[in-house]
A and B are shown apart, each in its own frame.
Chain A
Amino acid sequence: MIVDYLIDIIPFAADWPGLVFVSVVIFCAVPVFLFIAVYALVAIYGELKVSSFMQDKIGPMGQGVGLHAGKWGLLQPIADALKLILKEDIIPTTADRKLFILAPFIVFIGAFISMAALPFSQTIIVADMNIGIFYILAVSSLGVIGIILAGWSSNNKWSLYGAMRSAAQIVSYEIPAGLSIIGVVMITGTLSMQGIIEHQSGFVWGILPNWIIFQNPFTFLSFFLFFISGVAECNRTPFDIPEAESELVAGAFTEYSGMRYAFFFLSEYANMFVVSGVAAAAFLGGWRSPIPGVLDTPGWGIMWFIGKSMFLIFMMMWFRWTWPRLRVDQLMSVCWKGFIPIAFFNIFGIGIWKLLIG
């Protein structure tokens, strides 16, 4: 959308394609990057506070005089970011230097380019592709390669174990996530993100908003399948076996320090937003208001979309601080023996429901 708009308003766009390219970088790529950075700071502060409150602590407060972390510890994430920037960049001597440097970039690119298809409001979406939701599923597989590279190039057994676990986990959980999305696509008949949200207008069952999650019992189940698989794809607790600090130090990221580590961290948070954003758009009406017709303008759309996504991110944090992590074999059997059969059953159920009830 923004890309199309830029092509429309730039004079002589056809003669000066380089100008279009530069303006797309300035008006799409840079804002998305800034959004990820600001959102990550907010999410890190949220994570600190949520974790503290769940453990009956108060978290960062910034008490005392002189240099401290601001009121209620609001400056804590900025202090953390500064610390990561100032830290020494260490590359182990036995590491595979080129791949070690390449890995964080690949992981971050995978998370970054997914954001191009996220619909923030009716008009604010970098590109409303025909295949939007499928594009997000496709490019998110780039992260796996980056994590495997990080684990291998560190030349450290914990890193390699972590990378192997992570890859096995992400590849497995992509299947139920994709299958749940197929149910949504069957109902809406389109893969475009805006098309899916357009479909969710009005009411269903008389009182509920016509979001896909409420449309029938199978889609209700699909939402939970997708969201839990998404949590697993982000390697968040209770699925954080790849990082399992009590077993593997820090998994694939053990040898990373400073900004390189920060990029993995940023990618994890960006991936959380992508998963939550897709769940919000595909199941929870995206930028639509919970009460159809009330506060449904484009300006509020941004608020609804980010609000829904942030609520799901809060759910992820809630999971992290209330549930212990699964064992490796439990993780795999949950996916292959639980989620995938249920996901297939769901597709079947949604098809029958669509045929009989509509």
Chain B
Amino acid sequence: MADAAFWLMALLTVASAVVVVHHDKLLYSAIALLFTFFGVAGLYIFLWADFLAAVQVVIYVGGILVLVIFGIMLTNKITTVNISHTSMQRGAGGLLVAFVLGSLGLMITKTPWLVQHAAEPDQTVATIGRLLMMDYLLPFEVASLLLLGALIGAATLSRREE
């Protein structure tokens, strides 16, 4: 059951990701992205990372995807639903992709992965909080400084010139 559910999630993630790349209409790609995000959240749950799964849904579905759809709607007229994006140099690109895929696959199969049977942790959120506030405080603060800078920058840019 767990195996079947895992393969279902993986299939959902990969299949919707393929639709994201290949669909002619930009909005359909965005909607397919919704399923990719949910698939990835599902994969997190298989790794006992329930908090991370919820964060994934909040940030990517509630934030980034809405932003993407807003972007699509604000840049086009309502009547032009078709936004086709054509790919060029399929041959060379395909070769490169095959090469990267092959080397990644080789890497995955050759690496001696550390396999362990992890038990279900009783506290995921508390552990994450303790790690962020004690062991990784500096990276956490640097990241928040970066986000603060981005916020101030966005506010400054969007402000109308007096």
Contact = CB atoms under 8 A, between A and B. Distances in A.
B124 A145 contact: no
B137 interface: no
Nearest to A151: B73
A99 interface: yes
B66 to A, nearest CB: 6
A269 to B, nearest CB: 22
B61 A145 contact: yes
Contacts of B148: none
- By size class, the interface of chain A is 20 to 34
Contacts of A129: 50
A182 interface: no
Contacts of A142: 57, 61
Contacts of A137: 54, 58
A99 B66 contact: no
A212 to B, nearest CB: 18
Given A20-B1, A131-B54, A96 B61 contact: no
Interface string B45-59: 000001100110110
B31 interface: yes
A81 interface: no
A149 interface: yes
A130 B50 contact: yes
Interface string B14-53: 0000000000000110010010000000000000001100
Contact of B1 (A21, A164, A167): A21
Contact of B69 (A96, A131, A145): A145
B115 to A, nearest CB: 22
Interface string A238-255: 000000000000000000
A138 B66 contact: no
Nearest to A160: B78
B124 A131 contact: yes
B31 A167 contact: no
A20 B4 CA distance: 14
A134 interface: yes
A152 B125 CA distance: 38
Contact of B73 (A130, A134, A160): A160
Given A96-B81, A152-B27, A138 B65 contact: no
A171 B66 contact: yes
Nearest to A164: B73
A155 B78 contact: yes
B62 A130 contact: no
A102 B31 CA distance: 10
Contacts of B86: none
A182 to B, nearest CB: 12
Interface in A156-176: 157, 160, 164, 167, 171, 174
Contact of A167 (B57, B70, B79, B81): B70
A144 interface: yes
Contact of B78 (A102, A148, A157, A167): A157
B73 A141 contact: no
Contacts of A21: 1
Nearest to B72: A152
Interface residues of B, number: 26
B59 to A, nearest CB: 9
B2 interface: yes
Contacts of A160: 73, 78
Interface in A119-157: 129-131, 134-135, 137-139, 141-142, 144-145, 148-149, 152, 155, 157
A96 B28 CA distance: 10
A18 interface: yes
Interface in B129-149: none
A299 interface: no
A135 B73 contact: no
B62 A138 contact: yes
A142 B38 CA distance: 10
B81 to A, nearest CB: 6
A191 interface: yes
A17 B5 CA distance: 11
Nearest to B79: A155
Contacts of A130: 50-51, 123-125
B123 A141 contact: no
A62 to B, nearest CB: 44
Interface in A2-41: 17-18, 20-21
7 contacts: A21-B1, A99-B28, A137-B58, A138-B54, A145-B31, A155-B79, A167-B70
Ordered nearest first, which 3 A-B pairs have the shortest CB separation? A17-B1, A141-B62, A138-B57
Given A20-B1, A174-B62, 9 more contacts: A17-B1, A99-B28, A131-B51, A142-B57, A144-B66, A145-B65, A148-B69, A167-B66, A167-B69
